Structure 1
Amino acid sequence: MDPLGTVVDWIAVYGIFGLVVIGLAERFLPALPSYGVLVAIGVAADGAVWSLHTAVIATTVGSFGGAFGLYVLIRAAGRRNSVKFLYWVGRWAGLSQSRVDWILSLLRAREGALTILSQLIPTVRLISPIAAGLLGTNTLRFVSGVSVGIALWNGLFIAAGYLAVLAIPGINSSALALKILILLVAAEVLTALVWRLQRRHSMRLNRGASKR
């Protein structure tokens, strides 16, 4: 059984257009495991249907198109409707309102670097274009940051699939994606724990300074 391999077989029918479409679709379908599909695309990047660099470029173009579309839509909408939409998408992606507010505060504080980094965090990458539009992030900064972040995300997983099949010919794409998911979840949990510890430490330091 290799469900992701079946998805890639469908993408292969449409060639480069299929890669662009799947890159676009992952922006609007949280249930679609983008990392898994990207790994499977990398496994299939043997040059017969698409090359490694073609897969990275085409999926990046599709994903960026979706992200930029959301950004423009939010910039055009009113703030009140945009906030409601952001929270709705957050719930859809499995993020609580408090987590969404936290992401907004981070983007507001360091828009440049975090526009890139937000594309490297599962689920967060789906709502960051909406958050950027809501915060009024400069268009050039958004375009440059998000495009770099998406290219890194896509390139990382496509390369992982490509290297895996070179090391283990005939590897099951879905099994490989599951192993990568476990690593992603572990990394995300570790990052959240470190952030909470740092936040508590900062709060203690601020309390100590205020008492003085």
Structure 2
Amino acid sequence: MIDQSDLLSTLPVLAAWGLAGLLLCTAVEKLIPIIPSGGMLIVLGMFGASDASDLPWVVAITATGSTAGSLFWYMLGRWFGPERGDFLAMRVGKRLGIGSEWYWRLKDGYHYRGFTVTFVSQIIPFARAYIAFPAGVLAVPAKGFAIATFFGAALWNTPYLISGYMLRKHMFDQDIALPAAFAAIMLAYPLLFTVFRVCRPGRNAARSAVTIRCTTRSTPRR
């Protein structure tokens, strides 16, 4: 079994590679989500930014790496297609303890607010790693998916990277910086998720519209 502490100890080495190392770390985190992204990003913030002027570049490159990892799962979903993709997604979800209803609700949401669903999913710990596959199964436009993933990942990454940078520079006491950063994250992200849930269409309305759309497409022309 892979030891997470060993993986964390290699992050400073990879961060020392510069932007390429940051890109690699965040891409692999999406491909193989073994360690919590928050812990990884804090370490990358500590060792990837030498001064404050580096932070925008670090945020941009880590968001790019995260987007690249998501695009791999997206393309895999496109390759599987709707029938095989639905079967695989529900089977994996069952193993992870996720009901099939969640997957169908996700599909309904994508039909109406694909950009918003992708963006908001990037600030939800579990969904951010797995949302790309159903997006590919549904053939969501790749350009919009990539843009939404990039900006959502940037929003998720920024507080962790800044926290890591502050810890290294000792701008705040280490016993205060981390709790303060996590408290801000825990307050901001649930608010965004709540806004998304309030603004999204009702589940029954979305399901009915999707059913009508599928029925219309399947009706043979005379």
Tell me the distance in 2 between the aligned counterparts of 1:158 and 1:17. 16
TM-score, structure 1 length as denominator?
Answer: 0.71
Partner of 2:172: 168
TM-score, structure 2 length as denominator?
Answer: 0.68
- Superposition RMSD on alpha carbons, in Å? 4.0
Partner of 1:116: 119
Tell me the distance in 2 between the aligned counterparts of 1:190 and 1:116. 10
Tell me the distance in 1 between the aligned counterparts of 2:94 and 2:181. 26
The change in CA–CA distance for 1:115 and 1:61 in structure 2 (over 3 A counts) is same
Number of residue equivalences: 195
Shift of 1:123: 0.8
Partner of 1:12: 15
Task: Give ranges in structure 1 of 5+ residues lacking alignment.
Answer: 204-212
Amino acid at match of 1:155: T
Amino acid at match of 1:167: M
* DSSP 3-state at the match of 1:122: coil
Tell me the distance in 2 between the aligned counterparts of 1:78 and 1:177. 43
Aligned-pair identity in percent equals: 24
Q: Which moved more, 1:133-142 or 1:7-16?
A: 7-16
Q: Which moved more, 1:105-114 or 1:91-100?
A: 91-100
Match runs of 1:11-30 below 5 Å: 11-30=14-33
Tell me the distance in 1 between the aligned counterparts of 2:179 and 2:102. 26
Amino acid at match of 1:113: T
Tell me the distance in 2 between the aligned counterparts of 1:5 and 1:76. 33
The change in CA–CA distance for 1:168 and 1:95 in structure 2 (over 3 A counts) is farther
The answer to whether the 8 Å contact 1:89/1:127 transfers is no
Match runs of 1:14-93 below 5 Å: 14-47=17-50, 51-90=54-93
Task: Give ranges in structure 2 of 5+ residues lacking alignment.
Answer: 206-222
* Greater RCO, CA 8 A, separation 6+: 1
